[in-house]
Every structure is written in C-alpha cells, then in structure tokens.
Structure 1
Amino acid sequence: MSAIAPVIQLAGLTKAYNVGTPVETEVLHGIDLTLAEGEFAALIGPSGSGKSTLLNIIGLLERPTGGRLSIAGRDTATLSEAEITQLRGRSIGFVFQFHHLLPAFSALENVMMPTIIARGRPDDEAEATALQLLDAVGLKAHARKKPAELSGGQQQRVAIARALALKPRLILADEPTGNLDTHTADEIFALLREFNRQANCACLIVTHDPRLAARCDRIVRLVDGRIAEDDPAGG
C-alpha cells in the first residue's frame, strides 16, 4: 500500500509582492512544512512575521510566488482558478477571529451555506448535517436565531460548525479565540480539538495565546518569513 499523502505539503515556498517593481518585497522565504491528517499544530510568531500570508496561501486564497504547495495530495501549481476554488471549498474549513456569519441568515442557514454553495441548492441532508453540527457545539436550541441574537462565543461556535459542514480534511483557524474571554477561548479550543480527533482532520491554528499553543501537537514558529522552530508541544 502506498502512504497517504500529507494534507499540507510546502517545499521551498516563497511569496513576494510588487514583483518586478523597485519596491518588490519578499515576505516568505523558502518555507518547508508538512502536516499530516490528524495533526493539530499551532502557528505562532510576532506581528509581521508572515503568519497571515502563509495561512492565506495554504488556504488557497493567495498564490505563492515560488516553491511547491500541495493540498490533500494535489499540486496546486497545475490547477486552474476554478479547480482551486473547488479544492478550497471541499477540502478546507476556515475559522477566523471574527466569525463572518451572514447577519440576515439564521445559525442553521449559516452552517448550511458551504453545502448550499457546493451543491447549488439546500436539501434535507444539508439541513440534517447542519443541525447535527449545531448540536455538537451545543447550539441546536438556537438554530433559528440570527447572529445578532447570539453571544460572541456562540457566534464562534456557529462558525466552527460551518467550517465542518463539508467534512474538510484541513481546518485553518486564524486567531479563533482572539476576540473571546479566557473561559470561552478554552471552550472554543476544546471544540476544535474534539473535532480534530473525531474526524482525523489536520488543523493549523494561528494564535498569540501561549497557553493554547502549548496544548497543540506541534508549535511552528515563524520569524521574519522563515520557520525558526518546529517542535512538538504538550498535546
């Protein structure tokens, strides 16, 4: 049997802006990173170190300037924009510091949205899956409420449920607890960890919270666009 391809594989990845101009600036310098299914890694580093740029590239929101990026076993350099969009939609779930829920829609409809986009329409299966996910994050009773009727922690729980709607192989979380109090942050982190273990999906979390980073499997430290450390954490 052949080995399962890593969920994320970066080799010599670079990113520059204003390429070919006098103000060309390279912000990522030869990044090598592999993340296997089931791994739960923290991405840390000072402001301006390139964390958000790296997360955007892994999330297929930006293209790298050089090097190789494979997601779920597919070399992204050979993919069209349409194929990139499809791969991103089906393989990656996003959780941000600010939940980005659609205010006009209920919690249930927000969780259903990735499935509706993927299939072109809502259906009973999508609703059933969304309800199961809301139940898993403790919000089934609030399924019909709009985001404005929910607390910040509840809105982030809805965002996590939405990220899991299509059973992605990779969860990318950019400061998912950065806008929450310590108790709620711990609850949100525990939810991500639980889904990581249940679904065996890979998770990469940008955090400034050393307590949370220490509870991951690995800590990847980015400094000035380079990986300075990549070590096991407490788990």
Structure 2
Amino acid sequence: MGTIVELKQIRKRYGEGTPVEAEVLHGIDLTISGGEFAALTGPSGSGKSTLLNIIGLLERPSSGQLLIDGRDTADLNEATVTTLRGRSIGFIFQFHHLLPGFTALENVMMPSIIDANWPTAKAQDQALRLLDQVGLKDAAHKRPAQLSGGMQQRVAIARALSLSPRLILADEPTGNLDSHSAKNIFELLQSINQQQHSACLIVTHDARLAARCQRQIQIEDGQLLAQAS
C-alpha cells in the first residue's frame, strides 16, 4: 500500500536552552504503511502522546525527519502544515470533542466546511454516507447531548473520516466507554481500515485490544522497544 508515515531519528526536547531542558523522545525510527492497523502501547509518561502529536503534526520534533506520504514536513510553514494535517490525517480522541450546539450531521461536516470555507451539498452527502457507515444515519439531526457515549464516539469517527484521510490517529478512543461499546468502536475502526486501506495507529492501554492489532509498537522512556506482529 506504500509508506504513509516515516520517522527518522526523531527527538523531542522541552525547555530547550533552559536549566530544566528534558528530552522525552530519543531517536525514534518508525514506518507506517497504508492498510496497517497498529497499536501504540506503553506506560504513562513513556512518550506515547508526544509521539502521536508529532506524527499528527500537532507538535514539531526538535530534530530528526518526519515524512508524510514521502513529503518532508521540516520546512513546511504553519499554513501548509495545517492544510496537510486537515486533509491527510483524521484524529479520534478519548473525549470526542463534538460541538454541542450542532447536530451529528453538522459535526461530521465541520472538517469539510473548514476546508472549503462553506458547506456544500457534496459535504452533506459525504457526511450522511459516513453516518450511515457508522450506523447513525437515523441520528443525523440529533445533538450530542441526545446521544450515548458510544454513539458520540461514532460521530467523532465519522468526522475524522470526512476528508478521506490516508492516516487515522486514535488516542485512547475506547478509554471512556464501557466494554461493549469499546469492542464495537474497535471493530468499526478495523472495518474502516480494511475498506479504505488507510493507516490506523491507536494509542491504547487495553492489552486485549492491542493484541488484536496487526502490529504492536511499544514505547518506554521515550524509546521504541521490539515491535510484535
């Protein structure tokens, strides 16, 4: 499917040039290909969220090289990074961050509206199709407060897919759900991954879910450990 993400000797330091400077990622090398469904695991404070933020272009590395679809991101200005992030990467978080004043349909349309600066019929059709795909077509005109936690997370997944991203990053997407809803969300992500051949990287503390992924990427003290398939 081709390489979507490539990290070469990525390091991240905070407080650079100050007495409290600390390096939290120590020379990370990692490649993620299209169609992969991988789990990123590790103890609290191991660097999982920092690594995910760098892959998702939310933070810049202190050194090293990050390529998205073969494109070196080091010299891109902030406007270009924002566009690349919006169009190529779909984010799913533990807390769905839906906009409470908008319907499920409007929430799913939001990335397309931001990208095009205006709601379009095409964006609405795409959002309805995605809501149908996650089993929420009948809830299109309901607001988040009218939906269960699992349903809200499904809306968030549909929103993350609205621009057909090549890479899906999920940060503890089932951490706030009961076991039944968590299983359903995980299987939905697997199904989407298989259908769209996107790359999916999931941060999870759930060893059972991680074991069901194609690859487990373990990080500890800012360094990658042996990866299990």
After TM superposition, the score normalised by the length of structure 1 is 0.96
Task: Quote how far apart the aligned CAs of 1:115 are.
Answer: 0.4
Following the alignment from structure 1 to structure 2, what is the Cα–Cα distance between the partners of residues 163 and 192?
A: 11
Following the alignment from structure 2 to structure 1, what is the Cα–Cα distance between the partners of residues 114 and 2?
A: 27
1:222 aligns with 2:219: yes
Letter in 1 for 2:37: F
1:18 aligns with 2:38: no
**Root-mean-square deviation (Å):** 0.7
Match of 2:101 in 1: 104
Could you give the per-residue CA deviations for residues 84-125 of structure 1, whole angstroms, max 9, x where no partner exists? 001000000000000000000000000000000111100111
What are structure 2's unaligned runs of at least 5 residues? none
1:90 aligns with 2:87: yes
1:187 aligns with 2:220: no
1:140 aligns with 2:137: yes
Structure 1 stretches of 4+ moved >4 Å? none
Letter in 2 for 1:23: V
Following the alignment from structure 1 to structure 2, what is the Cα–Cα distance between the partners of residues 183 and 151?
A: 13
Following the alignment from structure 2 to structure 1, what is the Cα–Cα distance between the partners of residues 79 and 69?
A: 16
Match of 1:29 in 2: 26
Counterpart pick for 1:81 among 78, 81, 87: 78
Following the alignment from structure 1 to structure 2, what is the Cα–Cα distance between the partners of residues 218 and 36?
A: 11
Contact 1:102 1:110 in 2 (8 A): yes
Task: Quote how far apart the aligned CAs of 1:78 are.
Answer: 1.5
- Cα 1:78–1:5, aligned 2, differ >3 Å: closer, same or farther? farther
Q: Percent identity?
A: 66
After TM superposition, the score normalised by the length of structure 2 is 0.99
Match of 2:195 in 1: 198
The size of the alignment, in residue pairs, is 229
Q: Which 10-residue stretch deviates more, 219-228 or 72-81? A: 72-81
Question: SS of the residue aligned with 1:77?
Answer: coil
Task: Quote how far apart the aligned CAs of 1:5 are.
Answer: 4.8
Following the alignment from structure 1 to structure 2, what is the Cα–Cα distance between the partners of residues 68 and 5?
A: 18
Match of 2:46 in 1: 49
Following the alignment from structure 2 to structure 1, what is the Cα–Cα distance between the partners of residues 83 and 110?
A: 15
Letter in 2 for 1:16: R
